[in-house]
Amino acid sequence: MRFHSFVYSLLTILSFIACKPTATKHQQSFDTKKIAEFKHFISKEITAGKIAGAEVLISKDNKIVLHEAQGFANITKQKKLAKNSIYYIQSMTKPIISTAIMQLHEKGLLSLEDNVSRFIPEIETLRVTIDPEQGVEGATVPLEKSLTIRHLLTHTSGLSHGLGNNKLESQLYQLLYGQPEDYKIHENIESRVAALLSVPLIGQPDKQWNYSAGGDLLALIIKRVSKQNIQDYLQENIFDPLEMKDTGYNILEKESGRVMSLHEFNENGKLETSKIQVPKTGNTIFGGTHGLYSTAKDYLNFCQMFLNKGTWKEHQVLKPETVSLMAQNHVGDLYQSSGKGFGLGFEVILDADKAEGPGNNRQLSWGGYFRTHFFIDPEQQLIGLWMTQMLPHSNYYGNALRENIYGALLNP
């Protein structure tokens, strides 16, 4: 009897151990104390008046580890920021446009080495400035080689964005965007591309990495090749398959209350809601450099598709070999950031030991002008997203996002 009692007790203990809940793989991957410290960091930034609010989303192994929203969507009205708020993502539009271009590439409708003039003949009149300080009217020289789609995807075309400090850049900015309140300076993508092409290149193709508005030419190419409105193409081929239900160039009236307002510091250094806000409706340009609204959850689906080698649930958005191609360095040593290169729409870590800040080889990342940031780490099956709406632009929170996430990761 004693033996049978012992066996029964042992089986009972083993059964209890087997049934006891255990932390899942993704939960075990993070130091909970460090995650709490990250949340406290966000709170301190808000309390100190550095930002109005922020939403952070971390995913590991296709499971959400942290989804946090703190602070205000509108600090003037003291309106709380909620999860799944909507943000104007600015240059985080570019990777989406790059994805659309690569879909057309997969279908054989264009090649990365195609001359841009095949789709946009207007580009054939472009020349290259000798001295950017002389502005639009300065002396120019002919192009040494034709612009290709690869040049546009990698920012090696010699085009600019109007964000530099010389006279040519300042003139280009006015032609593209006008004053901050002039969101309707152009009615469509054709008009803005025409303005971009009216200014000489800042340098010869393949001679430098120069952040550019080439994404707008890519958007126009998508429109002309697909014979679809750009919004419709993206909706059908990217947003719907990825269940990006709140991503687009305009916001439905019933969802307008979810949009976080843009904030900036006033002349006294106090944080306030900006007097200039991006229109939620009536946007008609459908650009490739910026223009999209999105949410953290929507953009997470987009990032997860890349970790899934091009698939999302039952949908294949890109082929695995296309994802691999986009994540390679295509600019040689032109990208002036140690240990990093630039792929087809993303910054990519080539040598994590040399790159500034934490990360792993093949990590992809980019951000938007209003301080939205993301990274995708294939080695760790890890995604990080930071969403806010704040001027002036800074990479501070993108760096903080990576430092805190990798700082909390138990096996980085």
Structure tokens at 148: 């290709």
Q: What is the pLDDT of residue 250?
A: 98
Range with lowest mean pLDDT among 42-56, 83-97, 169-183, 217-231: 169-183
Look up the CATH number of domain 25-86+229-408: 3.40.710.10
Q: What is the pLDDT of residue 185?
A: 84
**How many angstroms separate the first and last alpha carbons of the chain?**
53
For the chain, how are helix, strand and coil distributed in percent, rounded to 5?
A: 35, 15, 45
Q: What average pLDDT does the segment 253-261 reach?
A: 97
- Give the Cα separation of 338 and 288 in Å (integer): 27
Q: What is the pLDDT of residue 411?
A: 79
Q: Does residue 27 carry a pLDDT above 90?
A: no
Residue 101's SS3 state is helix
CA-based R_g, the chain, Å: 24
pLDDT in tens, 322-372: 999 999 999 999 999 999 999 999 999 999 999 999 999 999 999 999 999
CATH of 96-226, one of 3.20.20.370, 3.40.50.261, 3.30.70.380, 3.40.710.10: 3.40.710.10
Q: Does residue 20 carry a pLDDT above 80?
A: no
- Give the Cα separation of 22 and 99 in Å (integer): 39
Q: Which amino acid is at 320?
A: P
Residue with more model confidence, 327 or 178: 327
Burial 81-108 (b: 16+ CB within 10 A, else e): beebbbbbbbbbbbbbbbbbbbbbbeee
Q: Which of 106, 164, 108, 172 lies closest to 138 in space, CA to CA?
A: 172
pLDDT in tens, 110-145: 999 999 999 999 999 999 999 999 999 999 999 999
Q: Does residue 17 carry a pLDDT above 50?
A: no
Q: What is the pLDDT of residue 22?
A: 38
Q: What average pLDDT does the segment 234-239 reach?
A: 98
- Give the Cα separation of 113 and 159 in Å (integer): 17
Domain with CATH 3.40.710.10 in the chain: 25-86+229-408, 96-226
Name every residue whose Cβ is closer than 8 Å to that of residue 182 and which is 6 or more positions away in sequence.
none
